[in-house]
């Protein structure tokens, strides 16, 4: 059991490390417009995940998933909306990275768990402990200081956090295998991506097959860059507790913050440090309370 959990931790860390360093990949494609990168990502992610499902001999399960979804129209259209939402999130993320907003992007993924919990309270009637409420207050102060410092509301960070949190909430109500789920999500959007690519080719705006072999390869491999960390995450999530996933997920925005400040030279002043420190404190407080909550539940179940 311990070995299985250790393997799960390794898979999950691998997923978050890949997500954390993916900005380097998008930076290699910064000469390609963000709309074409997104189009390519949707198209090749669909092809890659479809091939992966076929290789794993899960094609029949994929067809069954589609039939089950079609019979439940609410779930079907919820997943369609989720696919539109995640496509918008991908576009914002790619644009932000290639427009030198990595620090604000990392902020978005730091506050994402807190937004998710807030949505859980509103829509799933979940309750917060005193420590978790305090974490919200501390994080809010951090964001408020950052907003005053920027002279504007950090809309990009919140757009990323809110879109991904709503996507997560919608996915929570539709239990699907991670890889088959992504195949279906991209299948919803792939006709639009294909039509848009045709438009780019007919108007001589497409970079694919018109630049260099390296660019073509990077655009084609956006599908793998999307699917590989998801597969790693799916394998890890099956073997470790939910609170551990919550703790490990901060690896990705920490990597993004490091890349933005150290590698790409984005500004990070004393006010930013103060704001992020408050958000980190809130996340530590929130995570510790979740760990204690999970342990108390485990002890309670052991006594029954």
Mean pLDDT of the chain: 86
As a whole-number percent, the residues of the chain with pLDDT over 90 amount to 37
For helices 102-123 and 130-150, angle between their N-to-C axes, nearest 10 degrees? 140
- pLDDT tens digits, 261-287: 999 998 888 988 898 899 889 888 887
Neighbours of 266 (CB within 10 A): 18
- Position 6 scores a pLDDT of 78
Domain boundaries, the chain: 2-104+151-267
- Position 243 scores a pLDDT of 60
- pLDDT tens digits, 12-32: 889 889 999 999 999 999 999
Position 301 confidence tier, pLDDT thresholds 50, 70, 90: confident
- pLDDT tens digits, 221-245: 999 998 888 778 877 776 776 666 7
- Position 284 scores a pLDDT of 85
How many residues are there in the chain? 304
- Position 272 scores a pLDDT of 87
- pLDDT tens digits, 42-63: 999 999 989 988 988 888 999 9
Higher pLDDT, 111 or 63: 63
- Position 201 scores a pLDDT of 94
- For the cut 70, the answer to whether the pLDDT of residue 85 exceeds it is yes
Query: Cα separation of 27 and 150, whole Å?
Result: 24
pTM of the model: 0.84
Neighbours of 124 (CB within 10 A): 11
CB 121 within 8 A of CB 57: no
Higher pLDDT, 208 or 152: 208
């Amino acid at each position: 059991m311990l070995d299985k959990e250790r393997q799960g931790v390794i898979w999950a860390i691998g997923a978050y490390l890949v997500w954390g360093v993916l900005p380097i990949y998008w930076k290699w494609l910064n000469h390609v417009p963000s709309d074409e990168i997104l189009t390519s990502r949707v198209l090749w992610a669909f092809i890659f995940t479809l091939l992966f499902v076929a290789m794993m001999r899960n094609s029949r399960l994929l067809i069954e998933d589609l039939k089950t979804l079609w019979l439940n129209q609410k779930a079907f259209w919820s997943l369609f909306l989720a696919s539109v939402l995640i496509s918008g999130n991908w576009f914002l993320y790619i644009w932000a990275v290639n427009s030198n907003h990595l620090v604000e992007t990392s902020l978005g993924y730091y506050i994402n768990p807190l937004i998710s919990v807030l949505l859980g309270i509103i829509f799933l009637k979940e309750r917060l402990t005193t420590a978790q409420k305090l974490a919200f207050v501390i994080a809010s102060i951090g964001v408020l200081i950052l907003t005053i410092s920027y002279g504007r509301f950090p809309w990009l960070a919140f757009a990323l956090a809110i879109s991904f949190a709503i996507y997560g909430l919608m996915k929570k109500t539709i239990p699907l295998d991670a890889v088959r789920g992504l195949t279906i999500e991209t299948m919803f959007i792939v006709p639009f991506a294909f039509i848009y690519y045709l438009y780019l080719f007919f108007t001589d705006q497409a970079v694919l097959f018109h630049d260099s072999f390296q660019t073509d390869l990077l655009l084609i491999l956006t599908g793998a860059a999307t699917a590989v960390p998801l597969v790693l995450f799916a394998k890890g999530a099956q073997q470790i507790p939910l609170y551990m996933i919550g703790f490990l997920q901060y690896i990705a925005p920490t990597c993004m913050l490091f890349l933005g400040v150290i590698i790409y030279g984005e500004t990070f002043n004393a006010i930013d440090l103060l704001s992020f420190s408050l958000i980190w404190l809130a996340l530590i407080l929130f995570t510790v309370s979740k760990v204690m909550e999970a342990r108390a539940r485990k002890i309670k179940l052991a006594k029954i």
